[in-house]
């Protein structure tokens, strides 16, 4: 190890991987290996770990060794891990703008990425972080991202598995994508700010909330507690287990057929009618457990559809408990009316035709009396 607390560092030799590309600055330590160079900036409270080139091993410059960082560090360029080394972090690793981690190694510790930074894991790669995770994350088949503490995430796409057991936050400008594999969220999970989208499996291991808007195109399971959804929820994905929709839930991005386990509706459930075909032209929900009704059922017409006399719409199949606090149905043509008397028994609403005008009771008695009088007169005649 070369210590240069007051001088710049220069490096020479093969630069095919950028390993001699040591940036200018004042360092407390520098090291060079077969496929990398390392430089520790001089700092009073923490150190920046500057990694240039690829094929990073360790500060001792051995070919396929681990990297150990005792203090805070900043990775200012792409770092590639060859042959599955492990980087153990005692402090925090910061990914500078444009920097990143790329490879199949295991990264332990706290990670903070500035905008433009990225982490990509190849098969077998893992991240286990207990700090803040920012930036863009992606993983190939066989990779795993695990967050065990309070975590701030940026964009995540396609990890084979993502396990989180702390408080999970998504920044307002970020999108959390669960596109492949199985995702497990546990430990009072709270997601705020950005948009959560999933097209794969997502499991909530404990009671928790997703506070931002959610678009579900996969299967979300609340296996260990209740999943609370107080914001806008849509998508054609299913929700299994116990889930509470306390905000606006609009199944599908257009009409869809959705499967729910044991849902509780305490906000607004919006069902779309755009035709007569269940699941493709109007929304339908299959309940595998029991649906606990409350809040508002709002039925809306889409795509210029106009219901006609005799049309029926099977909105729910399964066990229904309770009633909606309010049922809002769209307007119909002249003389038509909604019949939702069987909504809570078979989940169906229907369109009735013109209603006959009732005859007042006094008029009925009068007509009956006239008929009796006529019969008596005929007999006398």
Task: Tell me the per-residue pLDDT of 167-223, one tens digit each, with 9 for 90 and over.
Answer: 666 666 666 666 556 677 776 677 777 777 777 777 777 777 888 888 888 888 877
Distances 2 to 9, 32, 324 between C-alpha atoms, Å: 9, 10, 73
Which pLDDT score, from 0 to 100, does residue 206 have? 76
pLDDT of residue 363: 44
CA distance readout (Å), 76 to 48, 73, 141:
9, 9, 27
pLDDT score at 14? 64
Cβ(4)–Cβ(30) below 8 Å:
yes
Question: Do residues 254 and 265 lie in contact, with contact meaning Cβ atoms separated by under 8 Å?
Answer: no
Closest by CA to 275, choosing from 306, 298, 300, is 306
248 to 69, 82, 199, 267, 356: CA distances (angstroms): 47, 48, 20, 6, 38
Say what the pLDDT of residue 377 is.
46
pLDDT at site 316: 98
pTM: 0.67
Low-confidence ranges of the chain (pLDDT < 70): 1-118, 121-125, 128-141, 147-155, 157-160, 164-182, 187-188, 355-381
């Amino acid at each position: 190890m070369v210590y240069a607390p007051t001088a710049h560092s220069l490096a020479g030799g093969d630069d095919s991987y950028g390993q001699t590309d040591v940036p200018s600055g004042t360092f407390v330590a520098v090291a060079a290996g077969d496929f990398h160079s390392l430089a520790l900036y001089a700092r009073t409270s923490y150190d920046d770990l500057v990694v240039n080139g690829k094929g990073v091993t360790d500060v001792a410059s051995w070919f396929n060794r681990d990297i150990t960082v005792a203090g805070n560090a900043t990775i200012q360029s792409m770092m590639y891990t060859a042959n599955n080394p492990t980087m153990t972090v005692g402090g925090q690793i910061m990914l500078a703008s444009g920097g990143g981690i790329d490879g199949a190694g295991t990264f332990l510790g706290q990670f903070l990425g500035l905008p433009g930074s990225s982490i990509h894991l190849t098969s077998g790669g893992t991240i286990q972080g207990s700090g803040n995770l920012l930036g863009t994350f992606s993983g190939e088949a066989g990779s795993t991202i695990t967050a065990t503490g309070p975590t701030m995430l940026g964009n995540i796409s396609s990890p084979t598995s993502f396990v989180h057991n702390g408080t999970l936050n998504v920044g307002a400008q970020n999108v959390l994508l669960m596109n492949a594999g199985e995702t497990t969220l546990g430990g009072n999970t709270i997601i705020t700010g950005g948009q959560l989208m999933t097209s794969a499996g997502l499991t909530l291991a404990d009671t928790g909330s997703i506070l931002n808007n959610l678009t579900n195109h996969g299967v979300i399971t609340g296996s260990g507690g209740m999943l609370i959804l107080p914001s806008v929820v849509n998508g054609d994905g299913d929700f299994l287990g116990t889930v509470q929709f306390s905000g606006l839930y609009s199944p599908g991005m257009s009409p869809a057929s959705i499967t729910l386990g044991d849902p509780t509706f305490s906000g607004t459930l919006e069902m779309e009618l755009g035709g007569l075909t269940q699941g493709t032209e109007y929304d339908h929900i299959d309940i595998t457990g029991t649906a606990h009704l409350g809040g508002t059922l709002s039925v809306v017409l889409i795509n210029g559809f106009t219901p006609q006399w005799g049309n029926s719409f099977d909105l729910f199949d399964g066990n229904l408990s309770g009633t909606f606090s309010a049922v809002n149905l769209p307007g119909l043509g002249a003389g038509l009316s909604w019949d939702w008397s069987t909504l809570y028994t078979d989940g169906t609403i229907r369109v009735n035709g013109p209603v006959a005008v009732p005859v007042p009771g006094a008029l009925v008695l009068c007509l009956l009396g006239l008929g009796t009088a006529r019969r008596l007169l005929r007999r006398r005649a």
